[in-house]
Amino acid sequence: MATYGIDLGTTYSCIAYVNDTNRAVVVKNAVGEDSTPSVVFFETDDNVVIGREAKNSARIYPNLVVSLIKRRMGEDDVELEFHGAVHTPVTISALILRELCQSAEQNTHEDVRDVVITVPAYFGVRAREATRAAGEIAGLNVLNVIPEPVAAALHYEAISTDADRTILVYDLGGGTFDTTAIRIEGQDISVVCTDGDHKLGGADWDERIADLLLKQFVEEHPGTEAAVSEDFLQELATAAEDMKRALSSLETRRYNARFADEVSRIELTRTVFENATADLLERTFTITGRTIDEARQRGVTSFDDVLLVGGSTRMPAVAEGLRSRFGFTPKLHDPDLAVAKGAALFALIESVKIALPAGAEAGPGGAGPSPEDMETAAAQLGVDTDSLRGLIGKKVTAVVPRAFGVKILTTAGDAEADDDGFLIDHLLHANAVLPAAPPTQTYGTVEDGQTGISVEIWEQAGARESRRVLDNEKIGNGTITDLPPLPKGSPVAISFAMDEMGTLRVHAVETTTGKDLDIELAIGGLSPEDMGQARTAVGKYTVGA
Ligand code: ADP
Ligand code: MG
């Protein structure tokens, strides 16, 4: 049975697998497209429509259609109601995954079960685990989640023959942006550093065009009600995306806007479009510059290649800007499919590890798998033994996506502390190589006679690490209880460890009594009951394109 790679995108999603000639190929969806709009239309209380038709339905049923849900992955307390049923970003993502896999099953006549799902490199632990949970709720066996730029690099590596190199991945999709420095050394692919903005993407470019269209329409028809018509605005939004795509290859594009009996023939040139969106592009370059600086501090002095990923990199201004600003000659291939194809390769790498008995992947000097093991595994995975050999020992090294720490009370006078004297002390910093286990930190209890110690775990919320409580987000907590009354300043040792999968484990111990506490942050805060409920909620729908 093949394993699949899924790019669960903010605006478009895509599924791929490695075929029997060892190439990663995209499976088309039910309506014959390579990628499917990540849009869900709750048509009735037991039927949902996903993809192009759902996107088109947004105009008529704005309150029953959900898009850009990935921007809210991992957020607490997001509840949306349709036909009386409550949904969350996780259950809505699960429905998208179900449709992708169901379509793939129809097209390949094979079950889709084992998958790797991609996530933006800067996703925090909660968003990552929420993505994994969405896969499980959709009935999939999620082998792993992998950062999108790493997937793109894997795809690039598979089609490139060069030796060791460092690459910069610039990914501008529909709703998210990130840049990531990646090093490829022999069998190792590792993230050097990553940065991004998950509220910036092609949709923002669309919005600017929609604004331009509306402005001109209103100027030509003063007193029109167009600006308050939900219907008209939706129509402009759809037209805006079409115009934007057209302007990637054409210098000018026209649109006939019609509202009530009023008509405007609006012409938009690429130059006007680029000027109206220059600040958005500029924001991506600021982040790119930051990534380059960060990479330099980590010993990367130049990039051998710059990869453009994400549909929005088809806008000519992207490559032009990277060229004029940074002197890069970016490469554009498969920008909207590279992530899914790379994920398919990674899914195969992961399943090789599972299919071959432990120890079989022994490196140089090791015994390696026996010919029989190789043949069995190759048959099981649907590839030939040669390509299997190439995959053994491939390693993807990920980094810590953001800084993680604990909330502590400071002694007076710390400028970063809040009014009550609290700040976040980070033990784990962004871009540390995974698995990561930084040195244990020891803190003191704050009051005499304390019989409990509360430990709060916080994650960096903004683009930069900051000790201010406001710049961080609480992701978990626990309490060491039943302590004898302790003198103030009793030592509490706290250790953080994050594994390759990004799961964070925190251990806190009051060292005089040895009383301790373990906190594991996984499955996006979903308890087994929550998972069960979500499965039922999702399972009651028939999904279709
Ligand atoms: P994501 O992974 O964020 O869902 P994709 O990588 O699939 O997104 O890119 C989708 C975005 O790319 C959309 O905003 C879409 O309008 C844009 N896009 C696709 N093709 C083009 C094009 N030819 N020119 C400009 N933008 C494009
Ligand atoms: Mg993407």
Query: Which residue ranges form the domains of the chain, and what is each CATH number?
Result: 4-156+335-395+531-538 (3.30.420.40), 404-522 (2.60.34.10)
In the prediction, which pLDDT does 234 show?
Answer: 87
Distance between terminal CA atoms of the chain?
Answer: 25
Judged by its nearest atom, the ligand closest to the C-alpha of residue 149 is 2
Dig out the tokens for 423 from the structure.
Answer: 């700040």
Single out the residue of 131, 143, 141, 151 nearest to residue 24, CA to CA.
151
Q: Which ligand 1 atom is the nearest neighbour of the CA of 13? A: 4
State pTM to two decimals.
0.83
Q: Evaluate the omega torsion of the peptide bond into residue 435 and state whether it is cis, within 30 degrees of 0.
A: yes
Dig out the tokens for 21 from the structure.
Answer: 């000639």
Judged by its nearest atom, the ligand closest to the C-alpha of residue 70 is 1
- Quote the CA–CA distance of 386 and 531 in Å, as a whole number: 40
Neighbours of ion ligand 2 (CB under 5 A): 9, 173
In the prediction, which pLDDT does 354 show?
Answer: 80
- Tell whether ligand 1 has an atom less than 6 A from the beta carbon of residue 173: yes
- Tell whether ligand 1 has an atom less than 6 A from the beta carbon of residue 36: no
Do residues 209 and 243 make contact, with C-beta atoms less than 8 angstroms apart? Answer: yes
Single out the residue of 494, 344, 349 nearest to residue 427, CA to CA.
494
Single out the residue of 93, 146, 134 nearest to residue 348, CA to CA.
146
User: 51-61: buried (b, 16+ CB within 10 Å) or exposed (e) per residue?
Assistant: bbbbbbbbbee
pLDDT in tens, 165-191: 899 999 999 988 999 999 888 777 888
- Quote the CA–CA distance of 335 and 309 in Å, as a whole number: 4
- Tell whether ligand 1 has an atom less than 6 A from the beta carbon of residue 118: no
In the prediction, which pLDDT does 415 show?
Answer: 87
Do residues 483 and 453 make contact, with C-beta atoms less than 8 angstroms apart? Answer: yes
In the prediction, which pLDDT does 523 show?
Answer: 40
Do residues 339 and 309 make contact, with C-beta atoms less than 8 angstroms apart? Answer: yes
Residues of the chain predicted below pLDDT 50: 361-363, 523-524
For ligand 1, pick from 6, 11, 13 the residue to mutate: most ligand atoms within 8 Å of CB: 11
In the prediction, which pLDDT does 521 show?
Answer: 67
Do residues 3 and 167 make contact, with C-beta atoms less than 8 angstroms apart? Answer: no
